[in-house]
Every structure is written in structure tokens, then in C-alpha cells.
């Protein structure tokens, strides 16, 4: 945690500029994490608030770099192995009862570890070719990383541990090759994945899905924005489709809660029951 | 005048701890006066990928049930809260929690500096911060934030700590109001409780 501080008026100046000049709306982001991200950028780039504002105004290419640092891109494969077991053993079989082919949206996919986890899971279930996956993020740079599906080999220790806890069919090593200190995943895993630049805050609804995963993304929003985004997820789901959120997120306080039922409370999977 | 020069203006107690703090925390929670009037917000280093068990272990002997709050959950008087595994836990203006999965700090998620620092920002001089035994420096900066905002700072007596790196980090960074053994921390909390009766 940085020792310096930034006051709310300065945060407001920055968010207003980004909104008017670049069309992203950060006004309803959760305050304390947003503030830490801003302080982090100022420190990393060695800028004052005024210098940052000048750079965002004068340098059109800087916004992508800025967004890449502002958004939190800490993720891992098979985070919460218990969640993935529930996907494999309950949720996806539930979808398959009614639809042989279906669609999944990974909203806020970051560097792609989650969509890759899903691809592996589907492959092991023998249904990969029946599924269309869309992975979206607002951060252009991170989408490129997701498309590359190549990660530092040191990250694999944790990912492999998670995979073992999931009790996958083989070894995570079956899916990647080690090249120059990187774990390069099998390209065929991404064959049915479309990556899309999409901002949950200002973006339109663009498709209908049977399953939406948005885990540990809405924690960066305040409750007003969470409600707005959840409405978009509701509209993006077919009736009886599933919504998965992070283990410490909850729909309890949300306006839209009555249109969902809890399918698995431990792993936070909900089902849309009303249009 | 009471012995710690306390009053009833405090709004919350935050506690940080790491290696060697479990026994102390359990002792504190087991001897809390029933109906303790302030929320107790705890950030303890824990295994990152073991989600279950810790809160249950703490609750076993605790006078008050310990909960791991959800993102945006309101902070209630008398609640005892524990930062969940693999999330940072912040206190927000408006008196609720927010979770995040940002980078680890001092190799820790949850990081004590984040919970203490955000609590200091929200509660200012109405906060009591307690830092217990631990093997790294996390929490030191958080204690400095508490002191800088006018809050009250307590660390566990280093000689009583299994590992004293954490309280010593705080003592090096800021003024600590009380250096106390766990039994005295319990006495302090009982005295604090009396101010609200």
C-alpha cells in the first residue's frame, strides 16, 4: 500500500476526463480499490496527478496502457477448484439436458486463464465442439495476452495444484508446451473462443447465453453499478440460464435477486428463473 | 478517568496477525465481553487456497460468531469479521466491506496493510488498531496510517510473540500507544466495553 494519498477531487478530475475524452465510465467503481489503482499508476509511471491528466489529454495512445494498469489482472487457472467441479458435475450437465449445443460468456476475461480452464473442462467432458465461448474485456492489451495463451512457467505451479484439486482427467501438462520460460497452451483449446473488446459499464448487450461467468469483476464496482451490470447479465441470459460470480460476491442485496435462484450457494452459481 | 484514558467515541477495532497469532486471537475472542459494542475487523494471514475451516476454528471458542463478509456487506456493531482467503478486504466510506483480488502485498492476500489502511481512512481517530505476532512486515504501514489519522495503536509485546517481526515493523514506523501482552489486550477491550455501558 502506497504511503501517499490522492484526494477525491483529483480522482474526480481523472474519471471525468477519461469519460469525456475516451468514453469509459469509472465514476461508479468501488472507491478504495480504484484509489489504490490510481496511486499505483502514479507510482509506476512516476507521474503527478496533473502530469497524468496532461498525458491522458495529449497522448491518445496512452489510454490503453493506462487501462491495462488500472484494471486488476490477477487471475489463475481453475481458481476455486470446487467451483470447477460444480461446473463439470452439475451445471454443465444441467444445460446439456436441454441443449446439445450452448454458449458461454466469460465477462471480464482478463488474461484468459478462466476461459482456458473452461476449454480444458469441456474437452475432458467430450463436448468442446458443441460449445461457443465468448471472452470479453475492456483492456485491449490483456485481450492480446489472452489470445496468446502463453503464461510464465512459474504460474503453472499454482495452476497445476488447482487442476489436481479439481481431479481432472490427466495432467495440466498435457495441454501446454514449455518454450523459453513460457507455458504455451495448445491452440486448439481456443478454436471455439471469440475474444471481444467489451466494457461492461457502457457496452451494449450483444448476444444471449446459457452460462455467464463473471467472477471477481463486479467487486470493483459500487452497488449502483453492480445493479446495472447485473441487469445486463439478466438480459444476456436465456431463461433458465446460469450466472456464476465470485465466492465472496452475492446477489442478496441486488435489485435483480428475485429473478434468480441460488443453485449452489458455496460456489455462487445462480439460475435465471424470470424474464 | 479510566486506566487507559478511553472514551466511548470509538467506532471499530481492527486486528492484524500472522504466524503465531492464532492462539492470541482465539484467547481474545473467547474472553470478549458478551455484547461487545464495536465491530471487530480481523485480517489474518492464512493459506491462500484453503477457503474453509479457518472461520470455523476461530468461532469455536469465540463469544461472538465470526463471519467472512461478502463484498459490499454492511459493517454492523458487534459483528466479528475475518478477511476471506485470497481476497484483500477494504473498509469503504459508508461503513461496508469491499473485496478485491489485486496483487499480493508483502506476499500476502489478504494484506493487513489494506484492511488497516482503509479502516483508518474511514474511521480516522475513532479506530483502535491491534497488531499481533507475525513473520513479515505487513501491517506496519497500516498501523502508521491508523496513528497518522489519530487512531489508537496497540501491538503485542514482542517478547510474547512467537515471531516479533510484525509488531517490531509497526514500532519502527510509527508511535505505538500500548505494547501489551494478550492478557492485557483483553483487559483493554473489557475497559473499552465499559465505556459503552
pLDDT (average), residues B139-167: 97
CB pair distance less than 8 Å for A32 and B101 = no
pTM score, whole prediction: 0.95
- The torsion of the CA quartet B175, B180, B186, B191, rounded to 10 degrees, works out to -60
Burial degree of A47 (CB within 10 A; 0-12, 13-18, 19+): middle
Per-residue model confidence (pLDDT) at position B51: 79
Question: How does pLDDT run across A29-41, given as a tens digit for each residue?
Answer: 999 999 999 999 9
Closest-CA residue of B relative to A248 is B70
Q: Write down the mean pLDDT value for chain B.
A: 95
Interface test with A, best of B72, B118, B137 (most A CBs within 10 A): B72
Interface test with A, best of B49, B55, B71, B121 (most A CBs within 10 A): B71
**Angle value at C-alpha B100, between B98 and B105, nearest 5 degrees:** 120
Closest-CA residue of A relative to B88 is A33
Question: How does pLDDT run across A164-199, given as a tens digit for each residue?
Answer: 999 999 999 999 999 999 999 999 999 999 999 999
Q: Give the whole-number percent of chain A exceeding pLDDT 90.
A: 96
Least confident of A145-159, A228-242, B41-55: B41-55
Per-residue model confidence (pLDDT) at position A65: 93
Q: Give the whole-number percent of chain A exceeding pLDDT 70.
A: 99
Across the strands, what pairs with A177?
A: A184
Q: What is the ipTM of this complex?
A: 0.93
Closest-CA residue of B relative to A159 is B49
Task: Name the CATH topology of A81-272.
Answer: Rossmann fold (3.40.50)
Q: Are A246 and A261 contacting, i.e. CB atoms less than 8 angstroms apart?
A: no
pLDDT (average), residues B55-80: 94
Question: How does pLDDT run across B108-152, given as a tens digit for each residue?
Answer: 999 999 999 999 999 999 999 999 999 999 999 999 999 999 999
Across the strands, what pairs with B120?
A: none
Task: Name the CATH topology of B12-194.
Answer: Rossmann fold (3.40.50)
CA distances from A234 to A18, A30, A206 (A): 28, 22, 12
A88 DSSP assignment:
I
Look-up: residue for cell 505505538?
A: B176
Q: Which residues contact A233 (CB under 8 A, 6 or more apart)?
A: A107, A212, A214, A243
* Strands B40-44 and B12-17, bridge-based pairing: parallel
pLDDT (average), residues B72-85: 96
Q: Write down the mean pLDDT value for chain A.
A: 95
Closest-CA residue of A relative to B90 is A32
Q: Where are the domains of chain A?
A: 8-70, 81-272
Query: Which residues of B are identified as catalytic?
Result: 18, 45, 138
Q: Work out whether the CA dihedral A113, A118, A120, A121 comes out positive or negative.
A: positive
Say how many C-beta atoms besides its own lie within 10 A of residue B48's C-beta.
Answer: 16
Per-residue model confidence (pLDDT) at position A1: 46
Distance from CA of A101 to the nearest CA of B (A): 33
> Which chain A residues have a beta carbon less than 8 Å from that of B51?
80, 82, 247
- pLDDT of residue B1 exceeding 70, the answer is no
**Of A103, A91, A159, the residue nearest A135 (C-alpha):** A103
pLDDT (average), residues B147-161: 97
- pLDDT of residue B80 exceeding 70, the answer is yes
Q: Which residues contact A159 (CB under 8 A, 6 or more apart)?
A: A76, A77, A78, A113, A172
Question: How does pLDDT run across A230-266, given as a tens digit for each residue?
Answer: 999 999 999 999 999 999 999 988 989 999 999 999 9
CB pair distance less than 8 Å for A32 and B105 = no
Question: How does pLDDT run across A116-153, given as a tens digit for each residue?
Answer: 999 999 999 999 999 999 999 999 999 999 999 999 99
CB pair distance less than 8 Å for B114 and A220 = no
* Gyration radius of chain A over CA positions: 19
Q: Which cell goes with A264?
A: 449452489
Burial degree of A84 (CB within 10 A; 0-12, 13-18, 19+): buried
Interface test with A, best of B51, B74, B75, B100 (most A CBs within 10 A): B100
Q: Which residues contact A180 (CB under 8 A, 6 or more apart)?
A: none
CB pair distance less than 8 Å for B98 and A80 = no
pLDDT (average), residues A62-71: 94
Look-up: residue for cell 500500500?
A: A1
Backbone angles phi, psi at B113, to 5 degrees: -55, -40
- pLDDT of residue A3 exceeding 80, the answer is no
Alpha-carbon distance A96 to A87, whole Å? Answer: 12
Amino acid at each position: 500500500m502506497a504511503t501517499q494519498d490522492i484526494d477525491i477531487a483529483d480522482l474526480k478530475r481523472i474519471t471525468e476526463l477519461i469519460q469525456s475524452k475516451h468514453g469509459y465510465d469509472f465514476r461508479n467503481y468501488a472507491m478504495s480499490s480504484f484509489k489504490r489503482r490510481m496511486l499505483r499508476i502514479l507510482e509506476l509511471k512516476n507521474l503527478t496527478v496533473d502530469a497524468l491528466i496532461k498525458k491522458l489529454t495529449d497522448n491518445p495512445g496512452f489510454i490503453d496502457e493506462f487501462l491495462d494498469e488500472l484494471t486488476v489482472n490477477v487471475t489463475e487457472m481453475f481458481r476455486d477448484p470446487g467451483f470447477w467441479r460444480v461446473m463439470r458435475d452439475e451445471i454443465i450437465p444441467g444445460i446439456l439436458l436441454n441443449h446439445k449445443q450452448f454458449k458461454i460468456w466469460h465477462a471480464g476475461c482478463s488474461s484468459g486463464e478462466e476461459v482456458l480452464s473452461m476449454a480444458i473442462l469441456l474437452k475432458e467432458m467430450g463436448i468442446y465442439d458443441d460449445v461457443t465461448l465468448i471472452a470479453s474485456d475492456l483492456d485491449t492489451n490483456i485481450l492480446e495476452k489472452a489470445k496468446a495463451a502463453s503464461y510464465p512457467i512459474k504460474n503453472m505451479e499454482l495452476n497445476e495444484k488447482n487442476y489436481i484439486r479439481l481431479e481432472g482427467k490427466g495432467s495440466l501438462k498435457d495441454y501446454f508446451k514449455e518454450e523459453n520460460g513460457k507455458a504455451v497452451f495448445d491452440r486448439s483449446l481456443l478454436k471455439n473462443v471469440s475474444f471481444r473488446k467489451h466494457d461492461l459499464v457502457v457496452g451494449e448487450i450483444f448476444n444471449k447465453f446459457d452460462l455467464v461467468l463473471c467472477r471477481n469483476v463486479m467487486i470493483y464496482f459500487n452497488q449502483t453499478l453492480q445493479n446495472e451490470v447485473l441487469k445486463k447479465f439478466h438480459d444476456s441470459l436465456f431463461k433458465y440460464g446460469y450466472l456464476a460470480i465470485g465466492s465472496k460476491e452475492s446477489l442478496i442485496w441486488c435489485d435483480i435477486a428475485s429473478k434468480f435462484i441460488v443453485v449452489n450457494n458455496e460456489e455462487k452459481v445462480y439460475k435465471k428463473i424470470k424474464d | 478517568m479510566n486506566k487507559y484514558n478511553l472514551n466511548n467515541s470509538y467506532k471499530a477495532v481492527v486486528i492484524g496477525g500472522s504466524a503465531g497469532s492464532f492462539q492470541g486471537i482465539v484467547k481474545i475472542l473467547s474472553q470478549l465481553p458478551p455484547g461487545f459494542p464495536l465491530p471487530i475487523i480481523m485480517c489474518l494471514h492464512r493459506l491462500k487456497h484453503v477457503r474453509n475451516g479457518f472461520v470455523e476454528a476461530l468461532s469455536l471458542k469465540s463469544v461472538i460468531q465470526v463471519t467472512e463478509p461478502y463484498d459490499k456487506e454492511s459493517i454492523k456493531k458487534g459483528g466479528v469479521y475475518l478477511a476471506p482467503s485470497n481476497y484483500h478486504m477494504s473498509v469503504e466510506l459508508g461503513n461496508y466491506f469491499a473485496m478485491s483480488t489485486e496483487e499480493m502485498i508483502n506476499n500476502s492476500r489478504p494484506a493487513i496493510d489494506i484492511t488497516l489502511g482503509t479502516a483508518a481512512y474511514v474511521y480516522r481517530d475513532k479506530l483502535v488498531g491491534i497488531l499481533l505476532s507475525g513473520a513479515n512486515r505487513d501491517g506496519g504501514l497500516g498501523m502508521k496510517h491508523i496513528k497518522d489519522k489519530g487512531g489508537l495503536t496497540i501491538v503485542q509485546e514482542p517478547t510474547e510473540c512467537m515471531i516479533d517481526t510484525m509488531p517490531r515493523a509497526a514500532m519502527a514506523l510509527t508511535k505505538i500507544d500500548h505494547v501489551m501482552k494478550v492478557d492485557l489486550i483483553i483487559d483493554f477491550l473489557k475497559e473499552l466495553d465499559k465505556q459503552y455501558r
